[in-house]
Amino acid sequence: MKDKINNSKKLIISHVADVDGISALILAQLHFGDIDYCLVEFSELEDFLKTIVENGTYKNYDEIYVTDVSFRTGSLELIDSNEELKKRIRHFDHHMSETGAAEKYSFVNEVKEIDGKKMCGTTLFYNHIEDDFKYKSEYLDKYLQAVCDYDTGGPLCGNQYGVDLTTLVSIIGIDAFIKKFSAGIKYGKDPMTEEDYALINMQRQKEQEYIEECDKNLIRIELNGHNVGVVVSELYRSSVGTALSSKYKDELDYILIPNFMRMQYSFRTVRKDINVGQIAKSLCIEGGGNPGAGGMPINTDTAFILDLIRDGIIKKEKELLLQQKQS
């Protein structure tokens, strides 16, 4: 979780883990100027909402924008039971992880497409402020398209600028990224420099080496009838998951990536017959995501998967020992 609370009249809560969530914050700061924010993991949203309800600070805000994160059951019930909070919430999300939530709760706004065009949290939020947004430009259009393409399509989205943005934020960090691209959008000029691209190319080489190492350590398990590849990865989860799912698409349904720094499982697949967002939701009430990318917390409900992974590691080690003896 990353936040800045200065008792402004508006608050934006967005996703901390990717450029989509960060870009919604960039637009909000450019549009409103002074705005409080909290960037969260999906699993942290409910706790943050509980905090501002318990201390009453939600009453300080005229509007609370929630972008690129879906409400799980606890958050839905918390908001629905509080009329003052409910009337302040403005929700802009493209994840459909709570079946029927949009029909049942008036404050839920989940939209995957508009007129056949894919949406992400940033583009949905931009649609809300577009009429009065002061910084329209060809560059803004390029930026929004890149963010949406990558967020809905991953590393294989076909939009190289979206891939570059995602790589750069992993290098320079959230604060520097916000400062750099706020200026770019404000002045309608691409802020990427030759130095940025040099850093990106160096990072890509490291990333490729890291993916190859993850491939060597891939573990195979069966989980609820699915053939799953598991890699324990603290870095490049989207690139790792997409690369390995592409390589083993005929053998594995999806790639599962436990990240113990974030206490999250990430799911990735390139297969069109698999929806990992639905799979994550079926495994944990706090799980969800898109067909190609999903996530859920590592907690007491999902700890059994760690036992499967442990058994998979033991099995792989035995196979390697047998191969060494035979050779």
Q: Is residue 226 one of the residues assigned to a domain?
A: yes
CATH of the domain at 263: 3.10.310
Residues 174, 138 share a domain: yes
Residues 231, 159 share a domain: no
Residues 173, 125 share a domain: yes
Q: What is the DSSP string of 94-149?
A: ----STTHHHH-TT--B-SEETTEE--HHHHHHHHHGGG-S---HHHHHHHHHHHH
Residues 174, 55 share a domain: yes
Q: How far apart are CA 79 and CA 265, in angstroms?
A: 26
Q: Is residue 34 one of the residues assigned to a domain?
A: yes
Q: H or E stretch including 71? A: none
Structure tokens at 162: 């979206």
Residue 25 CA to its chain's centroid (Å)? 14
| Residue 264 backbone phi and psi in degrees, to 5 | -135, 145
Question: CB neighbours (10 Å) of residue 8?
Answer: 17
User: Cβ(256)–Cβ(230) under 8 Å?
Assistant: yes
Residues 163, 66 share a domain: yes
User: Cβ(259)–Cβ(237) under 8 Å?
Assistant: yes
pLDDT for the residue numbered 98: 56
Residues 221, 163 share a domain: no
User: Cβ(118)–Cβ(112) under 8 Å?
Assistant: yes
- Per the structure, the count of domains in the chain is 2
Measured CA to CA in angstroms, residue 174 lies from 36, 85, 90, 132, 194 at distances of: 16, 28, 24, 26, 20
Q: Is residue 198 one of the residues assigned to a domain?
A: no
DSSP state of 262: T
Residue partners of 112: CB distance under 8 A and separation at least 6 = 94, 96, 118, 119
Residues 187, 277 share a domain: no
For residue 36, which of 69, 68, 58, 3 has the smallest C-alpha distance?
Answer: 3
For residue 66, which of 96, 44, 45, 80 has the smallest C-alpha distance?
Answer: 45
Q: Is residue 204 one of the residues assigned to a domain?
A: no
Q: How far apart are CA 227 and CA 140, in angstroms?
A: 41
User: Cβ(62)–Cβ(9) under 8 Å?
Assistant: yes
Residues 176, 33 share a domain: yes
Residues 255, 162 share a domain: no
Q: Is residue 208 one of the residues assigned to a domain?
A: no
pLDDT in tens, the chain (327 residues): 788 888 899 999 999 989 999 999 999 999 999 899 999 988 889 999 999 999 999 999 999 999 999 898 899 999 999 999 999 999 999 987 656 788 889 999 999 999 999 999 999 999 999 999 999 999 999 999 999 999 998 888 899 999 999 999 999 999 999 999 999 999 999 999 999 999 999 999 999 999 999 999 999 999 999 999 999 888 888 899 999 999 999 999 999 999 888 889 999 999 999 999 899 989 998 888 888 988 999 999 999 999 999 999 998 888 888 777 776
Q: Is residue 121 one of the residues assigned to a domain?
A: yes
For residue 229, which of 308, 323, 150 has the smallest C-alpha distance?
Answer: 308
Last residue of a domain, one of 192, 223, 242: 192
User: Cβ(142)–Cβ(188) under 8 Å?
Assistant: no
User: Cβ(199)–Cβ(208) under 8 Å?
Assistant: no
CATH of the domain at 145: 3.40.50
For residue 112, which of 156, 162, 148 has the smallest C-alpha distance?
Answer: 148
Q: Is residue 145 one of the residues assigned to a domain?
A: yes
> What domain range includes position 304?
214-326
